[in-house]
Structure 1
Amino acid sequence: MSLLTPELRAALRVQYRSDDADKRPLVKFFHPLSPATWLASELDDDGDALFGLADLGFGCPELGWFSLSEIEALRLPYGLRIERDSNFATTLPLADWTSWARKAGSILTAEALLRRASDTARDLADRFPPSG
């Protein structure tokens, strides 16, 4: 079973071919029993090499290439496998995710901090709407 839908594959390939410097992660994979997390923004034309941010839970998220087939081949205890977060969506570019994750020490901590910052900004906007 593939972790990527045909739509995600196509979107990741479009970003791979794009010259845009601010590509955003389109997919998040996670290990259900550990903090290991991957954010991917591009898929090479070979259909296997993903570019993005990888965090194996050692406190040092790394930007680079990783293999979709290797992630899909992982067999975990209790019959579990690496999963795709079907609710993941972001407007932030991969460079911002990388910066936040490196400062926080993990993608998961960065995600929580970014969510909290977004919620706070939304609350402030609701309380103090712009005067027109």
Structure 2
Amino acid sequence: MDYTEVIRPADLALLEANWTEQLKVKGTNGEMDLTPVVKIFSPIGSATILVTEKDPDSGLSFGIVDLGFGSPEMGYLDLEEVLSVKLPGGLRMEQDLYWKADKTLSQYASEARRLQHLRA
């Protein structure tokens, strides 16, 4: 499944703008602690992903991933790969269209490490 069919165009544009801005300061003390733009979830399980930025030339993205095993991790993921996963009953991972972030990514990560799951 093409991630552009799942993620709203305005959200993709913001993810790509965040990538471009973050790239300017990557690896320096000026790296930004961005607020997640997109929440992706499994409609039949506890898998949850919050994404802050996406490479304009690919599905490579950055965020926090919780697959429901008690060890959420922050890092890079491929939206194309995540959104191509086929779940039972023909379901797929999907964007939560009604979710709005209320913390920065590092705040979500800190809370997730403490709770051993992502609460978003």
Establish whether TM, by shorter chain, passes 0.5: yes
SS in 2 for 1:53: strand
Percent sequence identity is 35
**Secondary structure class of the residue paired with 2:10:** helix
Paired position in structure 2 for 1:85: 96
Structure 1 stretches of 5 or more lacking a match?
112-132
Q: Which of the pair is proportionally richer in helix?
A: 1
Over the residues paired in the alignment, what is the CA RMSD in angstroms? Answer: 1.3
- Give the alignment's TM-score, normalised by structure 1: 0.77
Q: Which residue of 2 aligns with 1:76?
A: 87
Q: 1:96 aligns with which of 91, 107, 113?
A: 107
Q: Which amino acid aligns with 2:95?
A: R
State the structure with more CA Rg: 1
Stretches of 4+ moved more than 3 A in 1? none
Secondary structure of the 1:95 match is helix
Q: Which moved more, 1:17-26 or 1:57-66?
A: 17-26
Counterpart of 2:57?
46
Aligned length: 109
Q: Is there any run of 5+ residues in structure 2 with no aligned partner, and where? A: 23-30
Partner AA of 2:17 in structure 1? V
1:31 aligns with 2:31: no
